[in-house]
Amino acid sequence: MQANRYQDLVAWQRAIEFVKRVDAVTSNFPQEEMFGLKSQMRRSAVSVPGNIAQGRGRASRGELLQFPGHACGSLDELETQIVIASLLGYFPVAEQDALLTDAQHLGRILNGLIASLKPTSKVSAHRQLTTDN
């Protein structure tokens, strides 16, 4: 069944859950990180479901595919920030590992969403090009 609203997409739902997790973890960061790494991590996390929603609202398949790709980029950025935060001692390595595992799972879901949006053959790609424009 195809989702009619972005809120129905599993990728968006999981991304929202991940935002809540990142928010909880970063709430324990030092006060001096309020406008630094803490803020960056929260913005990166929020960007993932935001890009999924933005892509769902686009008219063409090309645009629809572009935004889940942006979500993957934000997720990669967040993974890097998680490693940095752990190296700086803001949470234990076990928390880093759990967050990275969740991020990788979300990344697989995003990749599945992207794959489901791609044309499956040259014929369907041609049809898509002629109907999207």
d(CA 109, CA 112): 5
Contacts of 81 (CB under 8 A, 6+ apart): 37, 40, 41, 44
Single pTM value for the model = 0.83
Q: Which segment of 9-23, 35-49, 60-74, 99-113 scores lowest on mean pLDDT?
A: 60-74
Tell me if 132 sits within 8 A of 61, measured CB to CB.
yes
d(CA 38, CA 89): 13
Q: Which segment of 30-39, 51-60, 63-72, 86-95 scores lowest on mean pLDDT?
A: 51-60
Tokens (6 digits) for 34: 């309020």
Quick check: 22 pLDDT over 80?
yes
Q: Which segment of 1-5, 70-74, 113-117, 120-124 scores lowest on mean pLDDT?
A: 120-124
pLDDT per residue over 101-129, tens digit each?
999 999 999 999 999 888 774 444 444 44
**Assigned fold of 6-132:** de novo design (two linked rop proteins) (1.20.1440)
The domain spans of the chain are 6-132
